[in-house]
Structure 1
Amino acid sequence: MKKALASLLAAGMAASLLAGCGGSSSTAASTADTSTAASTEASSTAESDAPLEGEITFWHSFTQGARMEAVQKAADKFMEANPGVKINIETYSWGDFNTKWNAGLTTGDLPDMSTAQGTGEVVEMLNADVLTPIDDMVDDIGRDRFSANALADMTSDGATYGVPYYSHAQVMWYRTDLLEAAGLEVPKTWDEFYDAAVTLTKDGQYGAAFSCSPNDLLSTRYLNYYVVSAGSSLLNDDLTANLTSKEAIDGINFWLKVYKNCSPAETINYTVNDHATLFYQGKTAFDFNSGFMIGGVQNNTPEIAQYVRCPA
């Protein structure tokens, strides 16, 4: 059964999030005479013991080298252990991922498994009725190994439709060498950050980047940093968008000021990968991102890695 095959693969990969509910598959187990309860039980036992056979399509958006290689390695390991299984992996950039899913909803060309870029996309897929519950997989892995809140975000009517595979800790990254050369301290407030970023914008170097591609989430993420630090939220109590509060308006004006005065002009169309690459290559002095920044810097400009820090 393809659902069972996909669930086993998802459990083995640990980078999966969603199990789809379309497609066909084959199994080596022969169907026994099901006219009696005894023969039905025997058939079920035979199928569970039979070698897995079938074809699985898996979509993901891990375009970075090491992460993409880890996904392929996990799939290769599963296929080696199950020679009758073929896993087709399709990789899409974050900017193209949502477009690909929306097209698939229209044409019916959807994967058996997929990652998602947050619980919001899980809800969209649930609303489109294209997901199947994976409680059996979650229970096999161990439900207590996952954050209860994260599982709750992917649960509807008592059924779980996805599993969390990592969580980001977003921090401010900065270059100690650039700060020291300019006689600057590590900023502790938004005003200090802005002043330092403006000071460090010179000679082809930029203080910070503010990226606004409509195909990505960075502008919302950056606005959320500002609003949350001011003790507010981008959501009202009824979960509708809150973009007219004083904190939200102040945040919009703040990041617009950053974009105008210390960010490359082309970042207005940058996605998250384009944005991060600026810091990887040493072109920006500050960035807000997760621990992936270290690997990006080491792979692109290892000579500056020793100067990259985040506040303790």
Structure 2
Amino acid sequence: MTTRHYPSTIESRLSRRGVLGLGAGAAGAALLTACGSLGPGSSGSAKTVKFWDMMWGLTGYTPVAKKLALGYKPASGRPKASYQYIPWANFVQTFSSAVASKTGPAVSSGASYQALQFLRQGAIAPADDLIAKLDKEDFLPGTIEAMRYEGQYFAVPWQMDIRVLYYRKSLLERAGVAAPTDWDSLKAACVALRKQGRSGFGMQAGPATTVGGQQVLTMMFNNGGGMFDKDGKPDCVTDRNIETLEFLRELVSIGAIEKRYVSYTDQNLLTDVKSGKIAMTFIAPGYETNLPTADQADLVVASPLSGPHGDKGAYASINNLMMYTTTPSQQDSEAFLTYYLDHMKVLWQKGVVTALPVRQSIVDLPEFQANANMAKIAKEWQPVGKTHAALSPTPFPALNAVDGGQALAKFTQQIIQGAGTPRSQLESLQKGLESLVK
């Protein structure tokens, strides 16, 4: 079976954690020495448009992405591009050190809020001119505007990670229930599954992962709630959020959410989904690729649930491509990135990416539409996806610390363990966020 890599789930502790906490100079000169292979001489001359990229898909992703980048044929007088693979392990230090020493890339992929953090340090070049040239109508709703902060575009979106409800079709049929459509039917399905010794709300909330928090946020967003108000200020203790946590408490009480999930890793969750111990879970697109081929068709994406008040929502992160001020020229970076955006459909045509593309032209590809789960996610889940900011119309730099910090993780563990009341849990989250958002 092909090994699956999740930059925003299984590797979330690496791909998102701590960019804010580690400032540009935090890694120090010693780390620069350790990362010497990523210095200016390793990936092309000073006049090369250096593109640094992470592992974003299946094991075949990097060769395809590298070939795509190196296939760039610049206009006369413009520099060629080079490609450097950056491991998620220690990526924070790698980028921070490179930014501090001005030896970094001209263009890169990276964590969802990475560009916002480095923007504050003057290291990110604005993307306004590039976005002005793009066909905005080809981008899925909300993806372009999510790249705007204080009147300026800081990056260009290229794919979305979102938490969607997967269920084992055979297990629900065996329990005599249909795929849930709202909270009542979700609870009913969980009760029926529990009678057969199965969990209906699998979670991954170990201390080294952010997935559990994203699963909780999905339910909060599904009830019109969130962590921040429209001005980006922490606002956790609301009636809708309390109602959501009361529902999750019910799921804990009936065994749909099991106490052991408090220490679950990606492998724990996957093992239980494979074995049938977990029949439903909110997880990333393409999760079925982790199962044996014979079982993949049994793992199906449900439609978004309707919350108690008719709301629909799910946690999502919009991954982007960013340009840096360390470049031969801004025009060179834009020329390369324009090419890359126009040709990146090959990543989905080759099947090396399972994240959701943000361009309708890629969604419309026959190779994409052939996957019923992915087609459903694009059509039904993408329009209701919300970032950590949720109720705020724009993102803000502090979200990086929130995403990678411990406040949301501790909050999730309290829910699973049944520690305190919904109100006290939200009050604890509020304090944790206030310490990060200053």
TM-score for both structures, normalised by structure 1: 0.63
**Structure 1 residue 165 and structure 2 residue 158: aligned?**
yes
The residue number in structure 1 matching 2:415 is none
Matches within 5 A, 1:185-204: 185-197=178-190, 199-201=192-194
Say which one has the larger Rg: 1
Q: Is the 8 A contact 2:164 2:283 kept in 1?
A: yes
Identity, % of aligned positions:
17
Matches within 5 A, 1:89-238: 89-92=85-88, 97=91, 101=95, 110-118=104-112, 120-146=113-139, 149-156=142-149, 158-168=151-161, 170-197=163-190, 199-201=192-194, 206-213=199-206, 216-238=209-231
SS of structure 2 residue aligned to 1:65: coil
Structure 1 stretches lacking a partner, 5+ long: 1-21, 28-52
Q: Structure 1 301/256 Cα, relative in aligned 2: closer, same or farther at 3 Å?
A: farther
When you count helix as a share of all residues, which structure comes out higher? 1
Counterpart code for 2:58: Q
How far the C-alpha of 1:67 sits from its partner, in A, is 4.1
Which string of whole-angstrom CA distances, capped at 9 and with x for unpartnered residues, describes residues 66-90 of structure 1? 5445423423434899996432111
C-alpha RMSD over aligned residues:
4.1
The residue number in structure 1 matching 2:299 is 308
Determine the C-alpha separation between the residues in 2 that align with 1:204 and 1:159. 52
Determine the C-alpha separation between the residues in 2 that align with 1:306 and 1:236. 40
Counterpart code for 1:305: Q
How far the C-alpha of 1:266 sits from its partner, in A, is 5.5
- Answer with 260-269 or 218-227: which moved more: 260-269
Q: Is the 8 A contact 1:280 1:293 kept in 2?
A: no
Q: Is the 8 A contact 1:171 1:310 kept in 2?
A: yes
Q: Structure 1 72/265 Cα, relative in aligned 2: closer, same or farther at 3 Å?
A: farther
- Answer with 210-219 or 283-292: which moved more: 210-219
Determine the C-alpha separation between the residues in 1 that align with 2:106 and 2:259. 40
Structure 2 stretches lacking a partner, 5+ long: 1-38, 304-438
Q: Is the 8 A contact 2:163 2:282 kept in 1?
A: yes
How far the C-alpha of 1:102 sits from its partner, in A, is 5.4
Q: Is the 8 A contact 2:205 2:263 kept in 1?
A: yes
Determine the C-alpha separation between the residues in 2 that align with 1:58 and 1:266. 38
Q: Is the 8 A contact 1:54 1:85 kept in 2?
A: yes
Determine the C-alpha separation between the residues in 1 that align with 2:101 and 2:263. 29
Q: Structure 1 307/186 Cα, relative in aligned 2: closer, same or farther at 3 Å?
A: same
**Structure 1 residue 54 and structure 2 residue 22: aligned?**
no
How far the C-alpha of 1:148 sits from its partner, in A, is 7.6
How far the C-alpha of 1:164 sits from its partner, in A, is 0.8
Determine the C-alpha separation between the residues in 2 that align with 1:106 and 1:26. 19
The residue number in structure 2 matching 1:285 is 279
Q: Structure 1 163/246 Cα, relative in aligned 2: closer, same or farther at 3 Å?
A: same
